[in-house]
């Protein structure tokens, strides 16, 4: 591996991100899978970094799930998006940042399509007015939330309490980065580092002291794919893709997977359990599996947030071995306690993959 070669590509694929004042929209899936991630993101950018990120209670889904599963036509999805942009405009913002990769891909696709086909844009402008009586507006700048953490990765590093280092050996943790397909595979120039060697997560890992693992199936999709997942009979296809990735990364003995897409951490996490149940195979040391975290969770961990406040108990793969490696203190008793100390109940332990 010639790092200079990658650095050259990274330098070629940079984007100028406005420093401040963003309109923030959430992800449908993430709100239910990893609710703490978005909260942590807002807490970091607002309270730790002192930036202006505005949220509007009226924003909805971007329509991506329905669009990608062929439930709604493109015009409908575009009108939903136009409404989101109108909300941003009404709120006095012109920089749009979304939490979801599917949304980011769809927003980018939509903006590019409008650019290429102005007549379609005119049509959507009309639809928006007809349906919502809202005024059409386009963001001046579109970013994904991981772009923001990437941009502020060194600021976060300054406040870092637990770097991505194994406290017992002093060596950097081996971290697999997994980029959501729709981040830059469709429009390479829209992602940090481009499509082949994206830098958005690599930059975070390196800034926070970890060592990036580049393995043969790095580019491969986690296997989520709405159509694959929605139909039970097709889920084996989804699972097989995850399986392929794990088989490929296994020899590198990674400590952690970091992702920037709603579905990826969920499937990279849960399929480890399913694979273990079906084949008896587990990954990672001692049969615990390899934790797959969102970038906000990792940012929160290195900045010293309480693991349970970050919602890490929501992961199937036990997080405790990682916390111990990083030397992060945690109270095992609090793992299944709600915000008010209420007992949430302990999940049933799976038979194959180890849990604490």
Partner 1 sequence: MKENIIIIGGGAAGMEAATQLQKLGLTPVIIEKSNALGGHIAQWDKLFPAFHNAKDVVSKMFDNVKDIKTYLNTEVTDIQRNADGFHAVLSNGEAIDGKAVVLATGFDLFKAERKQEYGYGIYNNVITSLELEKFFRTRKDERINNPKKIGFVHCVGARDVKVGNTYCSKVCCTTALKQACEMKEVFPEAEVYTFYMDLRMFGPGYEDLYLKTQKDYDVKCIRGRVCEVSEDMDGRLVIKAEDTLFGKPLRMTLDLLVLMCSMEKNKSIDKIQQQLGVENNSDGFMQNRDMYLGMNDSKQEGVFVAGTCTAPKSLPDTIGEARSVAVEVFNYVNNK
Partner 2 sequence: MDFGFCLSPSSHVKMDSVDLTTFNRLKETNPDVNTCIACGSCTATCTAGNFTEMSFRRILLMLQRSKEEEAKKMIQRCMLCGKCTLVCPRGINIRKILLDITR
Residues that bind partner 2 in the complex, under the rule CB under 8 A? 232-237, 239-240, 243-244, 274-275, 277-279, 351
Answer yes or no whether residue 141 interacts with partner 1 by CB under 8 A: no
- Return the SS3 of 299: helix
Identify the H or E element spanning 96.
Answer: strand 95-98
Beta strand spans in 134-286 (E): 141-144, 174-178, 211-213, 256-259
Least distance between partner 1 and beta carbon 48 (Å): 35
Torsional sign, CA 171, 38, 294, 338: positive
C-alpha to C-alpha distance for 202 and 19, rounded to whole angstroms? 21
Answer yes or no whether residue 261 interacts with partner 1 by CB under 8 A: no
Site for partner 1 in 166-205 (CB under 8 A): 194-197
Least distance between partner 1 and beta carbon 193 (Å): 10
Least distance between partner 2 and beta carbon 279 (Å): 7
- Indicate the residue among 13 and 114 with the shorter CB distance to partner 1: 13
- Indicate the residue among 219 and 334 with the shorter CB distance to partner 1: 219
- Indicate the residue among 204 and 274 with the shorter CB distance to partner 2: 274
Identify the H or E element spanning 197.
Answer: none
Residue 292 vs residues 121, 234, 246, 261, 342: alpha-carbon distances, Å: 39, 23, 11, 11, 26
Least distance between partner 1 and beta carbon 212 (Å): 13
Torsion angle (degrees, nearest 10) of CA 189, 190, 196, 197: 110
- Indicate the residue among 31 and 240 with the shorter CB distance to partner 2: 240
Which of 129, 141, 215, 330 is in the footprint of partner 1 by CB under 8 A?
215
Contacts 24+ apart (CB under 8 A), 63-71: 63/106, 64/100, 64/102, 64/103, 64/105, 64/106, 65/28, 65/29, 65/102, 65/226, 67/106, 68/102, 68/226, 68/227, 69/226, 69/227, 69/230, 70/227
- Indicate the residue among 209 and 350 with the shorter CB distance to partner 2: 350
C-alpha to C-alpha distance for 205 and 301, rounded to whole angstroms? 12
By CB atoms closer than 10 A (0-12, 13-18, 19+), residue 57 is: exposed
349 binds, among partner 2, partner 1, none (CB under 5 to 8 A by kind): none
236 binds, among partner 2, partner 1, none (CB under 5 to 8 A by kind): partner 2
Least distance between partner 1 and beta carbon 81 (Å): 27
157 binds, among partner 1, partner 2, none (CB under 5 to 8 A by kind): none
Answer yes or no whether residue 212 interacts with partner 1 by CB under 8 A: no
Least distance between partner 2 and beta carbon 34 (Å): 23
Site for partner 1 in 234-253 (CB under 8 A): 251-252
Give the single-character DSSP code of 47. Answer: I
Which of 2, 57, 118, 232 is in the footprint of partner 1 by CB under 8 A?
2
**Nearest CA to 33 among 290, 305, 241, 313?**
313
Q: Residues near 139 by Cβ (< 8 Å), separated by ≥ 6? A: 23, 85, 88, 93, 94, 95, 96
Least distance between partner 2 and beta carbon 292 (Å): 18
Least distance between partner 1 and beta carbon 186 (Å): 13
Site for partner 1 in 5-34 (CB under 8 A): 5-6, 8-9
- Indicate the residue among 10 and 24 with the shorter CB distance to partner 1: 10
- Indicate the residue among 293 and 317 with the shorter CB distance to partner 2: 317
C-alpha to C-alpha distance for 295 and 216, rounded to whole angstroms? 22
C-alpha to C-alpha distance for 250 and 289, rounded to whole angstroms? 10
197 binds, among partner 2, partner 1, none (CB under 5 to 8 A by kind): partner 1
Using the contact rule CB under 8 A, the part of the chain among 3-11, 137-145, 298-306, 331-339 near partner 1 is: 3-11
Residues that bind partner 1 (CB under 8 A): 1-2, 4-6, 8-9, 194-197, 214-219, 251-252
């Amino acid at each position: 591996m010639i790092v200079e070669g990658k650095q050259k590509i990274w330098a070629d694929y940079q984007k100028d991100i406005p420093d401040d004042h963003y309109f923030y929209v959430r992800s449908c899936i993430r709100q239910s899978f990893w609710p703490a991630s978005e909260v942590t993101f807002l807490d970091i950018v607002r309270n730790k970094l002192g930036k202006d990120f505005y949220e509007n209670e009226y924003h909805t889904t971007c329509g991506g799930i329905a669009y990608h599963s062929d439930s709604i036509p493109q015009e409908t999805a575009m009108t939903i998006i136009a409404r989101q942009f109108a909300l941003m405009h009404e709120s006095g913002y012109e920089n749009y940042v979304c939490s979801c990769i599917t949304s980011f891909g769809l927003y980018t696709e939509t903006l590019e399509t409008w650019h290429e086909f102005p007549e379609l844009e005119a049509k959507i402008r009309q639809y928006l007015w007809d349906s919502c009586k809202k005024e059409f507006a386009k963001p001046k700048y579109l970013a994904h939330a991981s772009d923001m953490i990437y941009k502020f990765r060194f600021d976060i590093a300054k406040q870092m309490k637990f770097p991505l280092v194994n406290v017992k050996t002093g060596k950097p943790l081996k971290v697999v980065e997994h980029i959501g397909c729709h981040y830059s595979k469709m429009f390479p120039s829209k992602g940090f580092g481009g499509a082949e060697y994206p830098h958005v997560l690599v930059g975070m890992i390196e800034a926070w002291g970890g060592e990036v693992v580049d393995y043969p199936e790095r580019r491969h999709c986690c296997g989520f794919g709405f159509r694959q997942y929605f139909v039970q009979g097709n889920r084996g296809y989804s699972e097989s893709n995850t399986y392929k990735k794990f088989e490929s990364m296994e020899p590198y003995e990674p400590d952690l997977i970091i992702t920037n897409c709603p579905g990826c951490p969920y499937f990279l996490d849960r399929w480890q359990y399913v694979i273990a149940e079906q084949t008896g195979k587990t990954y990672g040391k001692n049969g615990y599996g390899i934790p797959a975290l969102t970038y906000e969770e990792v940012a929160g961990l290195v900045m010293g947030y309480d693991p349970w406040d970050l919602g890490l108990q929501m992961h199937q793969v036990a997080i405790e071995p990682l916390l111990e490696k990083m030397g992060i203190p945690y109270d095992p008793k609090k793992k299944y306690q709600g915000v008010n100390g209420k007992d949430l109940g302990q999940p049933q332990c799976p038979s194959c993959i180890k849990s604490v």
